[in-house]
Every structure is written in structure tokens, then in C-alpha cells.
Amino acid sequence: MSQKRLQFTTKLGVIATTVGSAVGLGNIWRFPYEAGEGGGGAFIVVYLLVIALIGIPVICAEFVLGRSSRRNIFGAFRHFSPKGKWHYVGYVGILASIMILSFYSVVAGWTMEYIYQSVSGGLDYGTAASFQGQFDEFSHGNWRPLMWTVAFLLCNLLILRRGVQKGVEKMSNIMMPILFVLLVVFCVNSLMMDKAGEGLQFLFNPDFSKVTPQVVIGAMGQAFFSLSIGLGTMMTYASYFSKKTDLRLSATITAVLDTFVAILAAVIIFPAVFSFGESPAQGPALVFEILPAIFSQLPGSAVWSVLFFVLLFIASLTSTISMSEVSIAFLIDEKKMSREKATWLNTGIAIFFGALCALSFGCLGDVKIFGLTIFGLFDYVTSNILLPVGGFFISLYAGWVLDKRIFNRELADGRRSFFAWLMRFCLRWVAPAAILIIFLSQIGVL
């Protein structure tokens, strides 16, 4: 099996696909709303710490485990520890990947509605308040969100059926650079708004009295979600890397670019939030109310808006493809299913749960579990619980169980390397301890 495995073809292809997985709605939709709810600057400081101390080491661990075993998350653990129970971590990853795919597709479906609205002129000349009304009306109506969720999952299916290499690599190569340029343009535009200073103050002047266990766990969850780690996505992708791929470089570039895009998105959103007199803590709707209002002030608003939502749609696709690959690679490698069958099964399950998530803004709005809607529950449980749990065990495994020589060979060609030492140190001590402490303080033990 290992010889036949597909490989990404170029260096750029590797970076573009891992960045393509990392950059998506997590950066542009979720980061601003989490930062807004977490009090801005304080949230961002914690977030950056988590990226550096836990995020980058865990990406490295996933890369090492994936490339050296050439297997999916479940198979990788079984390969190195056939007798242990480590492969159960694979089940956590697979569960997380299906749950994320379900609610993520709902939001990706919203981007499709917004592309449609921009083309048909429905997003022109509104204020943030009127877009708020428009978003509420759309998301509460049951059929349209449901239809777009299914439509998005079918787009995802079409690309997945063709295999990872052809579809994802090509699309990411073209799309990522255009998205960066567009974000920079919008960023400059936002910085020229009259209350830009207030927005920047909110983002970059941390008020540490706002750091509660809830904020810390939110920032940690966001970091895991944004870097696509803790569930085996980066492990599965690394199983397609060639021996020549520089894992250190790929891990660092992925984390840096991903963080850069998230910060850019926040710098686009918050100056506008304050200039329009809106509240930063509006939850999941935030970006879908503020962005159209920004676009409608620009000359040629519909063009900007179509371009942006099309790119966001593609960025979402490159992310959902990567998370789907976790369960598809598992079904193909371990359950010997055909790619066609595995892809349909993955899509079918996601359509079912995605429909529940989509309707939880409408007719299922009253269904509350632990005080959260179905959508809210999927979002919270995956980012704040399942991914950090996965990350905890991946760190422990790579730091304590995996042969040190394999770790060094993959990260530094077997040579002495400060980077490899530092990563292993973080995986042994810092990441597991930090995740544990954050969990314990969340449940009130510490």
C-alpha cells in the first residue's frame, strides 16, 4: 500500500494544500467572532501563545507520524504501537472530522447564499443593521440554509471523488495567493475608516482582567480548529508528502500564514464594527453582517462582494476536503472500501448532521443541549474538547512513545537540530501540561 500511495507533486503544492486546509472559515468567520466574544486583545495574546507552544509542536508531531507511517490517524498509531490502545485516538479524530464537516458546511452554505445575493443585487447599499435583519431572516428560514448546506457538501463530494492530488493541489495553488491580496486590500480600506483606532485598540491593547478560563479554552480551541490539528488532518496529508518535503518549513509556514490571515480578518472586521456602531460580541453572525456592509460602501460593491465570497467558498472547500480525508483515508486504508463508496458515506453522514445544524437556526432552534443549539454544540464540542483531547494524546505519543530517532529523522534528517529538540520538548512537557491545566481550570478543579 505504501508504494501506491498518492503524493503531492511539488513543494508549492505541499505548502498550498496544508495552508489550504488551515486557512478557511476558521480564520475569517470564527476567529473574529471568538475574539469579539473573548474581549479582543486578551484573547489574541492567549491565542498566539497557544499557537507557538502547542500548535506548531502538534503540527510537527502530526507531520512526523503521518509521513513516517504513510497512514491515516488510526493506521499510524496501529503501525507504531500494534498492541497498544493508541489507535482509539483515531476514533476521536474521525468523530471530530465528521462533526466539523457537518456544521462547517452550514457556514460554507451561507457563503453560497451570499454569492447568490451579491450577484442578484440583494447585498447592495445596506447598513450593518439592515444586513443583520437580512441574515436573521435567511438563517431562520429553513429551506434555503438547508439547500445550501447540501449543495456545498455535494461540491465537496465532487472534488473528493477525484482524489486528493489533482483536485486540491491545483485549486489551492491558484486560490490562496488571490485571497491574500484581496484581504490586504480590504484591510487597508478598514484602516481608513473613522473609528479604525477604536477597533485596533480593542484588538491589540489587551485587558488581562478579561482572561477567564472560558476565554483561555476558547483561544485554545480556536487555535486547534484554525490549524486543523488534533484530529489527524495534518497527519493524513503528511502521509502523502514525499521524503523530500521539509517538514519544519511546512509546519512553520502553515502556522505563520494561518495566523496572519486570522489577524488580517480581525483587522478588516473590528474597525468596521466600531465605525458602524455595532457590538463586537455578536457570535457566529458577526462577519456575515459586517462584511456586506463594508462592501456596500465600496465603489463597485457587488464585484468585491462576489469576489470575496467566491474565494471564501473555495477556502472553505479546501478545508472541508482536508477534514473529509481523515475519515475517507480511514475507510479506504482500514476498512478496504473503494474511494467512491467512502466518499459517499462521508457525505451522507455529513448531510444528515449538517441538516440538523442548519435547521438549528430555524425550526430546531428550541432544541437545546447543555444550553446550546445543535450547531453551537457541534462547534463547541469539537474545537474546545475533541481537538484538544486529540492534541493531548498526539503530543504524548510523539513526545514519549515514538522512537526519538524517527522523530529526528523526519524533522531534521537525523542531524542534531535545535528546532527538533525544542519541538520534542514542547510535545513532552509543555503541550500536554498546558492542555491539562486549561481543561482542569475550565471544570473548576484548579
For 88, other C-beta atoms within 10 Å of its C-beta total 12
- 250 touches ligand PFF (CB under 6 A): no
Q: CA quadruple 239, 435, 427, 210: dihedral positive or negative?
A: positive
Contact 397, 405 (CB under 8 A): no
Conformational region of residue 281, where left means phi above 0, alpha means psi within -120 to 50, and beta covers everything else: beta
- 259 touches ligand PFF (CB under 6 A): no
User: Which residue's CB is nearer to ligand PFF, number 30 or number 144?
Assistant: 30
C-alpha cell at 44: 489574541
- Minimum distance from residue 6 beta carbon to ligand PFF (Å): 18
User: Which residue's CB is nearer to ligand PFF, number 30 or number 78?
Assistant: 30
- 275 touches ligand PFF (CB under 6 A): no
- 384 touches ligand PFF (CB under 6 A): no
- The region of 118-126, 221-229, 405-413, 424-432 touching ligand PFF under the rule CB under 6 A is 221-229
- 25 touches ligand PFF (CB under 6 A): yes
- The region of 24-32, 71-79, 165-173, 347-355 touching ligand PFF under the rule CB under 6 A is 24-32
User: Which residue's CB is nearer to ligand PFF, number 98 or number 302?
Assistant: 98
- 134 touches ligand PFF (CB under 6 A): no
Contact 123, 295 (CB under 8 A): yes
- 226 touches ligand PFF (CB under 6 A): yes
- Minimum distance from residue 108 beta carbon to ligand PFF (Å): 9
Q: Which residue is nearest to ligand PFF (CB)?
A: 26
User: Which residue's CB is nearer to ligand PFF, number 24 or number 271?
Assistant: 24
**Binding residue for ligand PFF (CB under 6 A) from 26, 38, 109, 126?**
26
- Minimum distance from residue 83 beta carbon to ligand PFF (Å): 28
- The region of 131-139, 227-235, 365-373, 433-441 touching ligand PFF under the rule CB under 6 A is 227-235
- The region of 5-13, 315-323, 350-358, 363-371 touching ligand PFF under the rule CB under 6 A is 315-323
- The region of 223-231, 301-309, 347-355, 372-380 touching ligand PFF under the rule CB under 6 A is 223-231
Q: CA quadruple 11, 12, 17, 18: dihedral positive or negative?
A: positive
- The region of 209-217, 268-276, 318-326, 329-337 touching ligand PFF under the rule CB under 6 A is 318-326
Distance from C-alpha of 54 to C-alpha of 194, rounded to nearest angstrom? 37
Contact 239, 67 (CB under 8 A): yes
- 233 touches ligand PFF (CB under 6 A): yes
- 171 touches ligand PFF (CB under 6 A): no
Cα-Cα-Cα-Cα dihedral of 435, 436, 439, 444, to 10°?
-140
- The region of 9-17, 226-234, 286-294, 432-440 touching ligand PFF under the rule CB under 6 A is 226-234
- 22 touches ligand PFF (CB under 6 A): yes
**Binding residue for ligand PFF (CB under 6 A) from 33, 63, 86, 225?**
225
- Minimum distance from residue 25 beta carbon to ligand PFF (Å): 5
- 24 touches ligand PFF (CB under 6 A): yes
User: Which residue's CB is nearer to ligand PFF, number 27 or number 408?
Assistant: 27
For 136, other C-beta atoms within 10 Å of its C-beta total 13
- Minimum distance from residue 293 beta carbon to ligand PFF (Å): 23
- 322 touches ligand PFF (CB under 6 A): yes
Q: Which residues bind ligand PFF (CB under 6 A)?
A: 21-22, 24-27, 97, 100, 225-226, 228, 231, 233, 319, 322-323
